[in-house]
Chains A and B, each alone.
Chain A
């Protein structure tokens, strides 16, 4: 199993990833995080908020997916005006990335799925 620091380290080096985090699935607390990419998002550090709310949202999406009898969600992508939030579950943690709008989303997704598989 990859060390958590290695997981966020390699995810944060994917072009377009502003920040990568490993977050507790049930408590929404950051377990490991990369620094925020310089010059991105501007202003306050919102990683703590993003982590807590993304983990919370993922737990609700899991319930919705379950209610629709679709099984466990494989990947969650939230598209916003100025970028995306990607979330992948990996047992007791979730991997969260904040991504720029022009990022190669396919590559970010692939790297996150691989990281989640290795984490599991």
Chain B
């Protein structure tokens, strides 16, 4: 299983630990705007781009659904497929919020992923992003932000 590739070095250690402890097959840490911060398990930038866009959209819609139903956004989502399962949750470092999406199979379990993600959240809370994002909301340049983060993870398009 490959080590994480990161656009911001400070997430490398906690992301590696989460991957190993929770026995995740793949995962992406991203800003709620869809900009990737780190990933593991993917070799293709297009896959990460799709996952970031979908996770960002799912977070927005599930957050709103939570607000409508429960008065506050949902913080965690789990989907159990026949072979693989998807876990999605929020974490924060300083004032900055992040989203994490991870995939696991029968080599792990939802309970194990949950407890190690809680440790990941605690580890992240103690760290500070290298680049503080000025606004938690989208910048309006979704595609540009996504492409810049993918360049950082996989190299510029011509070099991939």
Say whether A associates with B. Answer: yes
Question: Which of A's residues lie within 8 Å of B, judged by CB?
Answer: 23-24, 26-29, 48-49, 51-53, 55-56, 59
Residues of B that sit less than 8 Å from A by CB: 80, 106, 108-112, 114-115
Q: What chain B residues lie within 8 Å of A24 (beta carbons)?
A: 111
Interface of B is mostly: helix
Residues of B within 8 A of A56 (CB): 108-109, 111-112
Of the A-B pairs whose beta carbons lie under 8 Å apart in the complex, a sample of 13, sorted by A's number, is A23-B111, A24-B111, A27-B110, A28-B109, A48-B111, A48-B115, A52-B112, A52-B115, A55-B109, A56-B108, A56-B111, A56-B112, A59-B109
Number of residue pairs spanning A and B whose beta carbons lie under 8 angstroms apart? 34
Residues of A within 8 A of B114 (CB): 29, 48, 52
Closest to B116 in A: A52
Q: What CA separation (Å) do A78 and B42 show in the bound complex?
A: 37
A67 to chain B, nearest CB (A): 15
Give the docked Cα–Cα distance between A55 and B108 (Å): 10
Q: Could you tell me the distance in whole angstroms from the C-beta of B120 to the nearest C-beta in chain A?
A: 14
| Bound CA span A26–B110, Å | 8
Complex formed: what's the CA distance from A78 to B117 in Å? Answer: 25
Q: Please provide the 3 A-B residue pairs with the shortest distance between their CB atoms, ordered closest to farther.
A: A28-B111, A52-B111, A28-B109
Residues from chain B with Cβ under 8 Å of A59 in the complex: 109
CB nearest to A25 among chain B residues: B109
B80, chain A: closest CB distance, angstroms: 8
> In the complex, which residues of chain A have a beta carbon less than 8 angstroms from the beta carbon of B109?
26-28, 52, 55-56, 59
Assembly CA distance A55 to B110 (angstroms): 11
CB distance from B82 to the nearest CB of A (A): 12
CA distance A29 to B80 in the complex (A): 14
Task: Give Cα A61 to B109, complex, Å.
Answer: 15
A23–B110 Cα distance when bound, in Å, is 12
Closest to A23 in B: B111
Contact, CB under 8 Å: A53 / B112: yes
**A52, B22: Cα distance in complex, Å:** 11
A28 to B113 Cα, complex, angstroms: 10
Instruction: Enumerate chain B residues within 8 angstroms of A48, measured Cβ to Cβ.
Output: 111, 114-115
Cα distance A28–B80 when bound, in Å? 13
Tell me whether B110 and A49 are in contact (CB under 8 A): no
